[in-house]
């Protein structure tokens, strides 16, 4: 019993490679999820292992505020940083591109210990059906070899602050730029929506004000009779309401313009957040 417990503990604490989507073009995360799960299962079935479960990798990254690693946009440094955060000695970076009826797939294995690219695989598979990647043998062999090397290094050298395998490392500038850019674009979409809403409100207030103002003007009937409009008190209230509508139209119009400027800045700026 004691031996079994020790063996289970050893296996659970062993370093596991991780499969992470580092670029995704032409499709949403939900649409790509099924393909990612198939590739993960094919890697495990082909002998790569133990491979970190996709859900575990997702939860680990979310704990450090990374909701979509595809913001790496295929950058090598970013993929290695993700491996550090996942405490994975080997990272399998998956890049996906949806091209009409096929997926363009790029797999690249990185050694997180020295940031080296070990092997790559490029293939196209059908978007519909249960298409499978071919010739995964060399990729799995190199990944397992790197995993054994990293496991030996871990058993000989204790981790310390600043080590390449320490998940507490800060993200590199490239990774920071990628995820900062993702958040910036998300805020830009929100401000753009607010700008459009404010512009629509300004137009609505303007139309209401025009209608209220028109009700104050004298009207001439077909027989030539002139109607002098509303009674004095009611006309004054109507005029105040029209002025309020025009004021609101001006205010929301200015707000819409300001939000549009902010949105343009968010979508065009390339500045990085300041590092403390």
Predicted model pTM? 0.52
Q: 3-class DSSP state for residue 74? A: coil
**Euclidean distance between CA atoms 136 and 148, whole angstroms:** 18
What pLDDT was estimated at residue 42?
Answer: 83
DSSP of 81-147, one letter per residue?
A: HHHHHTT-SEEEEEEEEEETTEEEEEEEEEETTTTEEEEEEEEEEESSS-------HHHHHHHHHHH
| Contacting residues for 210 by C-beta, under 8 A, at least 6 apart | none
Give me the pLDDT at residue 45, please. Answer: 83
Q: Which residues contact 146 (CB under 8 A, 6 or more apart)?
A: 17, 89, 90, 109, 111, 118
Q: Give every CB contact of residue 65 below 8 A, 6+ residues apart in sequence.
A: 179
Taking the mean position of all CA atoms in its chain, how far away is CA 263? 17
SS3 24: strand
Q: Provide the residue-wise pLDDT of the chain in tens; the chain has 276 residues.
A: 433 443 343 444 456 888 999 888 888 888 888 888 888 888 888 887 678 899 999 998 888 888 888 888 888 888 888 888 888 888 889 898 888 788 888 888 888 888 888 888 888 877 776 666 666 777 778 777 776 766 544 434 333 333 333 333 344 444 455 555 555 667 777 888 888 988 898 898 888 888 877 776 655 555 555 445 556 667 677 777 878 888 888 888 899 888 888 888 777 765 444 444
Q: How far apart are CA 252 and CA 199, in angstroms?
A: 7
- How high is the pLDDT of residue 66? 85
């Amino acid at each position: 019993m004691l031996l079994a417990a020790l063996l289970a503990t050893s296996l659970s604490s062993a370093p596991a490679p991780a499969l992470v989507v580092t670029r995704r073009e032409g499709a949403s995360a939900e649409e790509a999820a099924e393909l990612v799960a198939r590739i993960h299962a094919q890697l495990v079935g082909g002998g790569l292992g133990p491979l970190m479960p996709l859900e575990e990798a997702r939860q680990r990254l979310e704990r450090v505020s990374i909701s979509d690693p595809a913001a790496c946009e295929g950058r090598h440094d970013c993929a290695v940083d993700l491996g550090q955060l996942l405490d994975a000695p080997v990272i399998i970076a998956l890049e996906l591109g949806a091209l009409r009826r096929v997926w363009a797939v790029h797999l690249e294995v990185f050694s997180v210990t020295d940031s080296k690219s070990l092997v790559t695989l490029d293939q196209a598979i059908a978007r519909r059906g249960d298409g499978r990647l071919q010739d995964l043998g060399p990729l799995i062999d190199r990944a397992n070899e790197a995993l054994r090397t990293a496991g030996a290094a871990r058993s000989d050298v204790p981790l310390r602050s600043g080590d390449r395998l320490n998940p507490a490392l800060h993200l590199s500038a490239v990774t920071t730029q990628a995820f900062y850019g993702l958040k910036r674009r998300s805020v830009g979409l929100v401000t753009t929506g607010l700008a459009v809403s404010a512009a629509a409100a300004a137009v609505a207030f303007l139309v209401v004000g025009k209608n209220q103002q028109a009700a104050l003007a004298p009207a001439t009937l077909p027989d030539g009779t002139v109607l002098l409009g509303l009674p004095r008190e009611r006309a004054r209230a109507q005029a105040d309401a029209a002025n309020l509508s025009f004021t609101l139209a001006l205010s929301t119009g200015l707000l819409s313009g300001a939000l549009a400027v902010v949105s343009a800045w968010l979508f065009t700026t390339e500045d990085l957040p300041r590092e403390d």
